[in-house]
Structure 1
Amino acid sequence: MRARTRLALGAVGAVAAAGILAGCGDAGSSGTEAPAAGASGPGCAPVAGSELIVLEDDKALQNTDNIIPAINAKAANPEMIAALNKVSAALDTSKLIALNRAVDIERKTPRVVAEEFATANNLTAGIPASQSGSLVVGVANFSESQTLGELYRIVLTAAGYEVRVQQIGNRELYEPALEKGEIQVVPEYAATLAEFLNGKVNGANPPEISSPDLAKTTEGLRTVGEQSGLAFGEPSPAQNQNAFAVTRDFADKYGVRTLSELAEKCSGQATVLGGPPECPQRPKCQVGLADVYGFQAGSFSSLDPGGPLTKGALNQGEISVGLVFSSDGAIATS
C-alpha cells in the first residue's frame, strides 16, 4: 500500500524512516537472525495460509493512529470541518481495509473507489452548499491517502467549494505546504502527526504526546497543531497503525487471537518474527513485544515495513508473525 515506515516503530519525528536503525540486515534479506535471548520454549513454527489476520493489541502497545483531517487554520471554518467530519464518522478500520483492498488488490482507482463509497454511504446527505472558493486537498504518495483525499474532495465539493486533489509526497513536503496555506486540507494520522509536530515545536527527542488513549493523543495533537497554524476535524474510528499479523491457519492451529496469547503460547525457538530491519531495536516492534507482552521470538527475519515481503513470508509459511499496517487491504476482516 505504501513505501514508508510508521513512526510508531519508535523514531519520534521521522516519517519515512526505513533503515535508520538497520541493525538486522538489509530489507529483503531472507535469512533469520540468531534466536533471541530468553526464547527458551518450543515456540510456534510458521504455518502457511492465504488469509492474514491481525492479532488484537490487548495491552495497547501501539499509539492511536486514527485518521484525522488536518486543515490550514486560516482556511478552516465550522462548515468545512463539519463536512470533513462526515468522512471521519463514516469510516472504521474494516471499511478502510475494504477501500484499500479495492484499490491495491482489485486495481480500481482511488477516485472511483471513493465515489462508490460516498454513494453507498450517502456521504453528502445533509451537507449544505453554503461555501465558495477553491481548495486544494494534499495527499501523500500512497494509495490510502489518495483515497481519503478523494473522499474529502467529495464532501467539500458538496459544501460548495471548488476542490482539487494534489499528490505531494511525504510529510516533510506536504506539512509545510499545509502550514503556509499552499494546500488547505490533508488526511492525516493522529499519533504520527502529533509526534512529527512535537519534534518541530519542542525540539529533538521531546517527551511523547501521543499515547494508546485517543483522547490524549488528540489533545496533544491539537496543542502542537495550534502552534503550527493547523486545525483539525474529529478523529475517525478508522486506524492505520503498526499491527502484528499471522495466517488464519496459524491462529487456528495454536489458538491465538491476541498478542497476550501469542506471548503465552508461542514464545520460543520455533517462532519466527518478521519485519523491517530496524524492528529488533524499536519500542513499538520487537522491543515492545518483549517489554509489554513478554513475547520472545526464537529468530527474526529481516524483511520490509508491512510490505509484500512480509505478507508473502506469512502466506508462504516462512515467518510465524509479521509486522503489517492494520488497514492493509490484504487483512481479512471476518
Structure 2
Amino acid sequence: MKLPRTHVSLPRALGAAAAVLSLTLLTACGAPGSAGGGGSTDSSTGGADLAACEAVPGDELVVLDDDQQLQTVDNIIPAVNAAAVEGDDTLISLLDTVSAALDTNTLIGLNRSVDVDRRTSQEVAEEFVADAGLDSPEATGSGEIIVGAADFAESATLGTIYATVLNAAGYDAEVTTIGNREAYLPALESGDQVQVIPEYVGTLTEFLNHDVNGADADAVASSDLDATVEALTGLGEEVGLVFGTPSPAQDQNAFAVTQAFADEHGIATLSELAETCGGLVLGGPPECTERPFCQPGLEETYGLQFAEFRSLDAGGPLTKSALQQGEVTLGLVFSSDGSLTPTE
C-alpha cells in the first residue's frame, strides 16, 4: 500500500509538499543504496538471468501497468458524514457524477494544471466542472455543506470540484483545508466542522481498520476494488460515515520509466519489463527495500531482477529527476502525478 501523505495514513500519511505530490510504498533486501537483492525470480523470467538494460534519459515519464495487481487500490471516493445526508438523496448522487467524470488520466491533467502550470485549484476545478457538463445538474438540494480537503494540491482541487458541483445544484458549499487525515477524519466523523471529503479507497480502509480493530489488525484492503469498498462500507458504519461510488481515477503507488526507455524496449507493463530486462536500478524512498509492495513485491510477484537500489524519495523530485537523467531505470511515483505522461 501507499505510504502516507498528509492525506493518508499507513498507506498515505507522510507529509506532502505543496508543489510536489508526496507518495509511498517500499521494499526489501539489502541496505538502502546497496545492491538490492539481485532479483529473486519466478515464472515470468523462468529463473534465467536477463541482459542488463541501461536506463535511457528523457523528460517524459510513463507508469508501467501493474498487470499482476501488486498494489492496493486507491480510487478516489466521496466520504460523507452519515447524519448530514439523512433524508437527503441528492448530495451523494451529485458527488457520484464527479466520480463518473474522473479517470486517472484526467486526474493527471488536473494535477499538471496546478502543480506544473501553477494555476489555482479553484480555477482548474471550475473549468473541469464546466467542461464535464456538471455545472447544470438536474438534481437540486439545499443547506450548508462544508467540504474538507487535506493540505496537498490534489485534495484541494477535488474538494473544490465537489463544492462547485454542490453549489450548482443549490447547496451553500464551501471548502476548508484541515491538514492530514489524523486531523480531518475526526471532524468528518463528528460532522460539526466538515461533512464531505474526497478520499482514497485503500488508504482510508486501512486507516479505519486500524482505528476500529486495532493497530495489529490484518489488512482488509487489497487489489480488489469491490471487496475493498465492501470492507470500507462496513468500517464506515462503525464510525458514522457513508460513501459514494468510487471513481475510476486512482492515486496509488506506481512504478515509472522514461518514455524513451519504454519505447526502446517496447514495454508497457511490469510483466513485460521482467521478461525483457535484468540488471535494473530501482529508485525510491529508503523503506522501499523493506516493504512488500516495493522492491520485495516487484521481485516476488514479477520476478524483476535488480542490480542496485538507490535511496531517493517517495515519488518526489529526487526520484523523478533520477529517472529523467538516466540514473535509475525504474522509480516509485504516484500514479496521478502531474509530471507523468497519460497512458492510453
TM-score (norm 1): 0.90
Give the aligned residue type for 2:325: Q
Query: Hey, what does 1:283 align to over in structure 2?
Result: 292
Residue pair 2:3, 2:10 contacting (<8 A) in 1 also: no
Letter in 1 for 2:240: G
CA contact (8 A) 2:26 2:294 kept: no
- Uncovered stretches (5+) of structure 1, i.e. residues with no partner: 26-31
- 1:163 corresponds in structure 2 to 173
CA distance in 2, matches of 1:205, 1:291: 24
Whether the 8 Å CA contact 1:12–1:205 is kept in 2: the answer is: no
* Residue equivalent to 1:102: 113
Quick check: 163-172 or 107-116, which moved more? Answer: 163-172
**Residue 33 in structure 1 maps to residue 43 in structure 2:** no
| Matches of 1:166 and 1:35, distance apart in 2 | 43
Tell me, what secondary structure is at the counterpart of 2:139?
A: coil
1:172 aligns with 2:182: yes
Shift of 1:14: 6.5
Change (3 A) 1:314 1:297: same
Work out whether 1:219 is the aligned partner of 2:220.
no
State the one-letter code of the partner of 1:162.
Answer: D
59-68 or 11-20, which deviates more: 11-20
Q: 1:235 aligned to 2:246?
A: yes
SS of the equivalent of 2:217 reads coil
CA contact (8 A) 2:27 2:296 kept: no
1:234-278 Cα shifts (integer Å, max 9, x gaps): 00011110110000111122222110111122232xx11001110
Partner of 1:260: 271
Distance 1:153 1:331, change over 3 A: same
- Of the three residues 14, 17, 31, the one matched with 1:16 is 14
SS of 1:74's partner is helix
Kindly tell me: are residues 147 and 302 of structure 1, through their superposed partners in 2, closer, same or farther at Cα, counting changes over 3 Å?
A: same
In structure 1, the residue matched to 2:154 is: 144
- Alpha-carbon shift at residue 24 of structure 1 (Å): 4.6
Please tell me whether residue 183 in structure 1 is matched to residue 182 in structure 2: no
Q: How does 1:88-127 map to 2 (within 5 A)?
A: 88-127=99-138
Trace 1:76-91 onto structure 2 (pairs within 5 A).
76=85, 77-91=88-102
Cross-structure match for 1:29: none
Q: CA RMSD in A?
A: 2.2
User: Cα deviation per residue 1:270-325 (whole Å; 9 max; x = unaligned)?
Assistant: x1100111011111111110111111211001111101111111111110000000
For residue 286 of structure 2, give the secondary structure of its aligned residue in structure 1. Answer: coil
One-letter identity of the residue aligned with 2:52: G
Unpaired segments of 5 or more residues in structure 2?
A: 16-23, 41-48
What whole-Å deviation, never above 9, does each CA across 1:58-111 have from its counterpart, x for those lacking one?
A: 101111100000011110232110111111011011101000010011110000
Q: Count how many residue pairs are aligned between Structure 1 and Structure 2.
A: 319
Shift of 1:125: 3.0
Cα drift, residue 135 of structure 1: 1.4
Cα distance between partner residues in 2 of 1:152 and 1:118: 9
Report if aligned partners of 1:83, 1:127 keep a CA contact under 8 Å in 2. Answer: no
Per-residue displacement from partner, 1:42-66 (whole Å, max 9, x unpaired)? 3222110011111011101111100
> Matched residues in 2 for 1:281 and 1:264: separation?
24
Moved more, 121-130 or 153-162: 121-130
Deviates more, 1:253-262 or 1:78-87: 253-262
Q: What SS does the aligned partner of 1:75 have?
A: helix
Q: Percent identity, please.
A: 53
Q: Which residue of 231, 251, 255 maps to 2:262?
A: 251
* Aligned mate of 1:193, from 201, 204, 226: 204
Change (3 A) 1:262 1:6: farther
Report SS of the residue matched to 1:283. Answer: coil
**CA–CA distance in structure 2, aligned partners of residues 130 and 158 of structure 1:** 9
Contact 1:12 1:199 in 2 (8 A): no
